Chains A and B, each alone.
Chain A
């Protein structure tokens, strides 16, 4: 159990997962194992495959609960992700936000086969990670990403957004 938690945490770092997310999930796993096995000695003897399956099941339930909560929530404009950086005027910030929204809309218009790859790349995932998740070769990933980014730039250029816009 401890070894598995350590492994999940270690792997989670690579995916920029917060310790809090892992802790919450592993807590659920502990509760499930305690209910199923009772004594700590029995829990410590649980095979890794059993802990793994319990963890996947706990994670899926946790995600279901989070989905249900999200439907009831409203988006706050105080989201820290949209805070105005110090020294940036409100006008400039508004302009920048509009530009970001235009980029998001332009991404929406590129072909569906290339769009997820572009999104993943722009979200900061390296090409190897994209290839690994989709089970693609490096060449296929590179090709679709290149085409997707070209599509995106063409659409932005058509809207008058180019190099000079963000300098």
Chain B
């Protein structure tokens, strides 16, 4: 159980894992996530399920190397068993025929957006996708999202691919040119989701955001992931991860995501120190 059956680097520091998890694959619905513990002394981290194959009994996870845990995952090889994969957790996305839906994905948020865009398209919606990243390399899963969309638009911070700028610039133009969509789904960094929410608020365009808060168990037990939605405290792991973006207190979310920054730094430096030594040793051997 939880063997890595396929792994590839789909962009610099982005890895796609296909993991054996038949029960999770069978139950997965778009919008849900798993808690992953790579090894026994590791940390439990939430990862959104990018795809699932019930027949093959596998789920697909896309991991961006950011901290110690994700960097260590980048070194895992096919055949390795993850210590724990639990799920599918969270409330699935409510999918129905809304009409025209704009799906916005930024950075690592493109991976969880993919099954939602695919689900919305399958339900008969006209799906217009906007994908953004710092540069062309980092706009991941373009072919997959394109296949799940009627039209697709790209933005990059450096202008290396698509339009230079932010996803909100593309969204503003889209609303201006095509009129008010029936739904906007935004998944990406908290600042991006906040900016999208501010843009759709004046026209009251229904907007969903999928929140990425810190979690420990992922089953409603610890409350680490709590956020304020419409002034009420909610747990992202069981009440979410998707919420009405106009009601989310993004400033609180952004602050709470910084909780363990010093410790994340310590762990990352420790990891890099131990692995740089090994890499150097490897070079001298060769």
Partners in one complex: no
Interface residue ranges, B against A (CB under 8 Å): none
Interface residue ranges, A against B (CB under 8 Å): none
